[in-house]
């Protein structure tokens, strides 16, 4: 059967370092360290879970969950990401679509997407030689109504079960991206709720990620901001890891970037 060989969660933006070069350097080093640890496990499929920032989907296409099914993906190139072609894995993606449908999740398959920074920044930190098949999974955290953390956690469980049905040579890394607290285009823009960020990261790294299902969109909007809705991706990853613990790699309250920046790596040895 296939195996989850690595899993991680990290914020997916990267701002101008001028305002706080030391903190920016620590964030960059943390992202690269996560990339190094993921690559060390030799995955051949990189399932990256993110939101789309109205670059591929918009108010005309309000999709709760979508999965990239193309043979390859070229990033949009925002936030300085390289427009390098990354291979996809059509067989994995299309089979996951069917398996999810059989188990209560109607994922939308999408071909013509150019992943924006939500996918491309973490992918570039990890997939440095562009040789790991990229499978982007989108959770809508931009257009209302958004999927709940509870629903996203259940999707993670479906993904875990699906991977267990796959060929033994499939080695999958699951990367949740987005968050932490940030308020986008609101009067609170620039605010970072460090206590909330700490709580979310502590739940994940202590193996209590399931408790994130208690965070409703309304509650997140108050304490984590509209950008904080992206922790649904962390909930999805937690669902796939079934109570595994993790290790925090970095955290910085980047007020100049309008967001809390954090990242951790999970222990997958028992999966």
Task: Confirm if 32 and 250 have CB atoms less than 8 A apart.
Answer: no
Can you give the pTM of this predicted structure? 0.96
> What are the distances in angstroms from CA 141 to CA 52, 113, 118, 180, 268?
8, 17, 12, 13, 27
Q: List the structure tokens of 164.
A: 């267990």
Q: Which domain, by its residues, includes 138? A: 3-266
- pLDDT for position 271: 52
- Does the residue 271 lie in any domain? no
User: In sequence order, what are the residues at sequence separation of 6 or more whose Cβ sits closer than 8 angstroms to the Cβ of residue 98?
Assistant: none
- pLDDT for position 37: 98
- pLDDT for position 59: 83
- pLDDT for position 190: 83
Q: Give the CATH number of the domain where residue 205 resides.
A: 3.40.830.10
Q: Are strands 3-10 and 171-177 parallel, antiparallel or unpaired?
A: parallel
- Does the residue 239 lie in any domain? yes
Asked whether the predicted pLDDT for residue 85 surpasses 60, the reply is yes
- Does the residue 52 lie in any domain? yes
Listed range (7-11, 134-138, 266-270) with the worst mean pLDDT: 266-270
Work out the percent of the chain whose per-residue pLDDT is above 70.
99
CA dihedral 91, 97, 99, 101 (to 10 degrees): -160
- pLDDT for position 270: 54
Dist. CA 249–CA 236, nearest whole Å: 20
Q: Centre a 10 Å sphere on the Cβ of residue 25 and count the other Cβ atoms it contains.
A: 12
- Does the residue 101 lie in any domain? yes
Phi, psi of 74 (to 5 degrees): -115, 120
pLDDT band at 62 (very low <50, low <70, confident <90, very high): confident
Q: Which residue has the tokens 């296409």?
A: 61
**What mean pLDDT value characterizes the chain?**
95
**Residue 180's closest CA among 24, 13, 47, 22?**
13
Q: List the structure tokens of 169.
A: 């040579």
* Edge-to-edge order in the sheet of strand 65-68: 108-110, 65-68, 133-139, 45-50, 171-177, 3-10, 259-266, 246-254
**Residue 68's closest CA among 32, 118, 31?**
118
**Residue 115's closest CA among 85, 145, 160?**
85
For 251, the 3-state DSSP assignment is: strand
Q: How many domains does the chain have?
A: 1
Asked whether the predicted pLDDT for residue 156 surpasses 80, the reply is yes
Round to the nearest angstrom and report the end-to-end CA distance of the chain. Answer: 12
- pLDDT for position 96: 98
Q: Which residue has the tokens 């990354």?
A: 86
């Amino acid at each position: 059967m296939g195996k989850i060989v690595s899993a991680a969660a990290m914020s997916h933006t990267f701002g101008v370092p001028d305002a706080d070069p030391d903190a920016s350097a620590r964030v960059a080093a943390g992202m690269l360290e996560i990339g190094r640890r993921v690559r060390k496990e030799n995955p051949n499929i990189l399932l990256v879970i993110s939101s789309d920032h109205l670059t591929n989907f918009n108010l005309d296409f309000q999709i709760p969950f979508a999965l990239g099914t193309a043979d390859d993906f070229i990033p949009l190139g925002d936030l300085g990401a390289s427009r390098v072609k990354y291979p996809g894995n059509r067989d994995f993606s299309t089979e996951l679509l069917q398996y999810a449908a059989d188990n209560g999740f109607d994922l939308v398959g999408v071909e013509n997407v150019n992943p924006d920074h939500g996918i491309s920044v973490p992918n570039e930190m990890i997939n440095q030689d562009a040789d790991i098949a990229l499978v982007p999974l989108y959770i809508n955290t931009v257009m209302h109504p958004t999927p709940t953390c509870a629903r996203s956690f259940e999707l993670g469980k479906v993904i875990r079960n699906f991977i267990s049905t796959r060929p033994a040579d499939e080695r999958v890394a699951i990367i949740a991206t987005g968050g932490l607290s940030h308020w986008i285009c609101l009067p609170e823009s620039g605010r970072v709720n460090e206590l909330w960020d700490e709580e979310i990261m502590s739940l994940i790294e202590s193996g209590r990620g399931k408790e994130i299902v208690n965070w409703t969109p309304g509650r997140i909007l108050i304490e984590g901001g509209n950008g904080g809705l992206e922790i649904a991706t962390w909930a999805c990853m937690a669902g796939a890891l079934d109570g595994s613990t993790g290790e925090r790699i970095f955290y910085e309250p980047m007020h100049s970037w309008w967001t809390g920046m954090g990242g951790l790596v999970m222990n997958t040895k028992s999966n």
